Homo-oligomer: A and B are copies of this chain.
Amino acid sequence: MLGGRSKRAGDGRRLTVGGVKLPQVVIVGAGFGGITAAKALGGAPLDVTIVDQHNFHTFSPLLYQVATAGLASDDIAPSVRGIVQPDPNVEARMATVHAIDFERREVQVDNGPSIPYDWLVLAAGAVSSDFGIPGVSEHAIPLKTMADATRIRSRVLRRFEAANANPALVDQGALTFVVAGGGPTGVELCGALAELIEKVLAKDFKHLDVNRAQVVLVEMTDVLLGTFSPRSQAEALRDLRQRGVDVRLGVAIQAVEMSAVHLADNTTIPTTTTIWTAGVKANPMADWLGLEQTERGEIVVLPDLTVPGRPEVFVIGDLAAAKDRHGKPLPQLAPVAMQGGRHVARSIKRRERGQSTRPFRYINKGTMATIGRRAAVAELPFRIRFGGTLGWLSWLGLHLVFLIGFRNRVVVLVNWAWNYVKWDRGNRVILTDDTD
């Protein structure tokens, strides 16, 4: 037997205090919203369970760096059990939620008995949406999950290996990488791809004319970073074009095929790598929960983030159709989910004390997007903005601070320092079996 010295003789019993069962909180989803809610409930007289299909939290703002070989998957994937380990009243469960019985108040999972709840927090987030454009779901790779990021990394590196072995493939678009969507994800991915190719792969592939590689960014509207100020939008456009990215504004993608992308302006781009960052929709869970949804699919919530008629059910983050005080939908950003998580934790504690909930007020602390080496745009409240090196440094600092776990922070910092000083990307290894 192992663990003779182990501190915890485990037991499956419900948490009790003086023989009284604690109220149970179930959180569905270990994204920014769910994790923040779970941590905010740590130490409270509540029996908290956080359920996710993965055993790790994905620090999604850095997925594009895993996709472009700057970081390892593990660096931005702290384990959920590790995150809540210090909180004795919080338990993590790796499980897929099959159904939720709002009458019996229990969550049905795929790998064990149903989990009863007194309070439910739905934080399942969003998934990539193809808007019904033909071929996107079959031939384009989204950048929303860790699996997506490693798939993109493998695909890009495999395309270079294939072109190196058979240069004729370059004419067929083997080295053409099309990114759909000019939001922060698309902009950051394009900047990082351009740097990976020009600074690293150009040296890796000594006999391949890497100058023939192309990164094409296709954006339906006339601007990049639609939610940013015109000045930041112009700066992002200039920086991407300086890095050799072929930015095409005001043109929609009509169809994606195995070996080409068709645009609305009747141009066709030969490529075997299309990455889809053009949009997301609420987690499909929203469709089978039987709760009221907006036309965009999010779950309708009251100002306190509860479901109408179900004051014990909260919805936060990308899954919720939360609005600001002017009735404008809140953006699908990590800070909105995190503030929502803290709000529902406070609300549950208040209600347990017999107090009423308060409406959720999102405080915009700013948004950022990085284009690449010493180039980023940061927009803070009161029209404060930085660009260039200052924007980039503030982006670095912010993301390091928010990255969960000291170890991850140090490893990421080491990787970033190495990448910056050596103009290198140390993680350019193909770890998938994917043989496309």
> Does residue A428 face the partner (Cβ distance < 8 Å to B)?
yes
Residues 60-96 of A at the B interface (beta carbon under 8 Å):
72-75, 77-79, 81-82, 85, 88, 91-95
Report whether B111 and A165 are in contact in the complex, using a CB–CB cutoff of 8 Å: yes
Interface centre among A77, A92, A206, A418 (most CB of B within 10 A): A206
A211 B6 Cβ-Cβ under 8 A: yes
Partner of A2, one of B82, B211, B427: B211
Query: CA A147 – CA B433 in complex, angstroms?
Result: 9
Within 8 A of B (CB), among A201-244: 202-215, 243-244
Q: Would you give the shortest CB distance from A175 to chain B, in whole angstroms? A: 9
Contact of A77 among B112, B194, B205, B429 (CB under 8 A): B429
How many copies of this chain does one complex carry? 2
Q: Cβ of B431 and Cβ of A77 under 8 Å apart?
A: yes
A10 contacts B by Cβ under 8 Å: yes
Give CA–CA (A91, B164) in the complex, Å.
11
Q: Quick one: which of A11, A72, A214 has the most chain B CB within 10 A?
A: A72
- Is there a chain B Cβ closer than 8 Å to A383's Cβ? no
In the assembled complex, how far is the CB of residue A400 from the closest CB belonging to chain B, in whole angstroms?
A: 14
Decide if A277 is an interface residue (CB 8 Å cutoff): no
B2 x A198 contact (CB < 8 A): yes
A419 and chain B: residue at smallest CB distance = B407
Q: Known contacts being A7-B203, A85-B203, is A79 close to B429, with CB within 8 Å?
A: yes
Residues of A within 8 A of B (CB): 1-13, 54-56, 72-75, 77-79, 81-82, 85, 88, 91-95, 109, 111-112, 146-147, 150, 157, 161-162, 164-167, 194, 197-198, 202-215, 243-246, 405-408, 410-411, 414-415, 418, 422, 424, 426-431, 433
